[in-house]
Structure 1
Amino acid sequence: MEWTVIGDVIEWRGPAPYYFLPMDPEDSAEVKIEAAGLEYWGQVAVIAAIDGSTFTTALFPKDGRYLLPLRASVREDHDIESGSALTVTLRLNRDR
């Protein structure tokens, strides 16, 4: 199964800034059902694609939805910053 996530990148400032693309609650609920048994510490391993570039990461649960973390290298390669409109395709990483 595959999901297309469309939204604006958000920034969370902790010890270092982190950037995420939030999934909508409906898709998040669907991911949770499909990922049953694959979760670890509430996170779900995924393979993400942006403009033909793929990377692996894990979705973080937050307030009834999942957040897709965006690595610095991915952000630099695609000129992504806080507030950027973004479209990402996700699928579960069952090989993990």
Structure 2
Amino acid sequence: MRFEFTAPLWEWASQGGWYFVTVPEEASEDIREIPRPPRGFGSVRVRVSVGGSTWTTSVFPDSKVGCYILPMKKAVRVAEGLVEGGDVPVSLTVLDL
């Protein structure tokens, strides 16, 4: 299952230095419906591409907004010139199927 979306980069205020992109509501609902074994913190393994960078990570449910959040590694933010509040074009493939 693959999703393409653009969302702003934001910093997690209570844990400075951690940056995320919020997976849109519709895509989050689709991901939530995929039957899979439970993983820590409700995480879902994914492969992500942003610009020329591709990596494997996990998305995590955010109970405050009801969507998954995607952590954005510093190396990717630097390589792709991403800044807080800027739009990030994401290609996300769910690996836990």
1:38/1:44 contact within 8 Å kept: no
CA distance in 1, matches of 2:77, 2:56: 14
- After superposition, residues 1-96 of structure 1 pair within 5 angstroms as 1-34=1-34, 36-40=35-39, 41-62=41-62, 63-94=65-96
Identity %: 28
What is the Cα deviation at residue 79 of structure 1?
Answer: 1.0
What is the Cα deviation at residue 13 of structure 1?
Answer: 2.9
Over 2 Å off, 4+ runs: 13-16
Structure 2 regions of 5+ residues with no counterpart? none
The two structures, once aligned, show a CA RMSD in angstroms of 1.7
Structure 1 regions of 5+ residues with no counterpart? none
- What TM-score do you get using the length of structure 2 for normalisation? 0.86
Q: Is the partner of 1:31 in helix, strand or coil?
A: helix
Q: Is the partner of 1:17 in helix, strand or coil?
A: coil
The number of residue pairs the alignment matches comes to: 94
CA distance in 1, matches of 2:73, 2:32: 22
1:43/1:59 contact within 8 Å kept: yes
What is the Cα deviation at residue 74 of structure 1?
Answer: 0.6
